[in-house]
Amino acid sequence: MSRIGKKPIIIPENTELKQDGATITVKGLKGELTRTFRSEVAVKVDGNTINLEPANNSKFARSLWGTYGSHLQNMIDGVNKPFEKKLIITGVGYRAEITGNKITLTLGYSHKIEVEVPTSLTVTIEKNKITIVGVDKEEVGQFAAKIRSYRTPEPYKGKGIRYDDEIIKRKEGKKTV
């Protein structure tokens, strides 16, 4: 039994949820999200609550039960209060600039890296902090991971791009005799 799937999801007052077969659209103050769900989990909307039940007792349906509950909760949370990820750039000469809808990263390579920002995300850069804001939790996390992958933090000096709440376990360098 899924603990997340069993709990009813409450729809806030300023949020509108529309179900069209397997497609669910959630509208809120900050945006709109649409997602298509498989038929293995039945989504029932009753007034201002959503209840999920597996359509059959298969292992696959039970595994999707809690996952769909999390997806629906994230959709409702995102259209009311957008998700945010912060990245910190550490290193001498490492910097990021934003021009239009592109981020230009200077990360110690022989070339600059240009990354196009998706239209549904808002990116701001202050000194060495990149803030990514958007209504879709998956898209915000994926874009942050993409930027971080260009220069992951190294364990000796800690240079690279890391998440704001990430702790880099530092290693000791070579010892002299």
Is residue 71 assigned to a domain? yes
Identify whether residues 44 and 104 lie together within a single domain: no
Q: Residue 27 belongs to what domain range? A: 3-80
Identify whether residues 98 and 34 lie together within a single domain: no
Last residue in a domain, options 39, 60, 80:
80
Going by pLDDT thresholds of 50, 70 and 90, the confidence category of residue 175 is confident
Element (H, E) at 20: strand 16-20
Residues composing the chain = 177
Instruction: Specify the CATH number for the domain of residue 37.
Output: 3.90.930.12
Identify whether residues 106 and 123 lie together within a single domain: yes
pLDDT given for residue 153 in this prediction: 95
Q: In the predicted model, what is the mean pLDDT of the chain?
A: 93
Identify whether residues 29 and 48 lie together within a single domain: yes
Could you report the per-residue pLDDT of 116-155, keeping only the tens digit for each? 999 999 999 999 999 999 999 999 999 999 999 999 999 9
Q: Provide the 3-class DSSP secondary structure of residue 10.
A: strand
Q: How many domains does the chain have?
A: 2
Rounded distance, CA 148 to CA 3, Å? 33
Identify whether residues 9 and 52 lie together within a single domain: yes
Identify whether residues 71 and 36 lie together within a single domain: yes
Is residue 102 assigned to a domain? yes
Identify whether residues 108 and 143 lie together within a single domain: yes
Identify whether residues 100 and 57 lie together within a single domain: no
Is residue 169 assigned to a domain? no
Predicted TM-score (pTM) of the model is 0.90
Is residue 9 assigned to a domain? yes
Could you report the per-residue pLDDT of 71-124, keeping only the tens digit for each? 999 999 999 999 999 999 999 999 999 999 999 999 999 999 999 999 999 999
- Phi, psi torsion values for 109, nearest 5 degrees: -85, 175
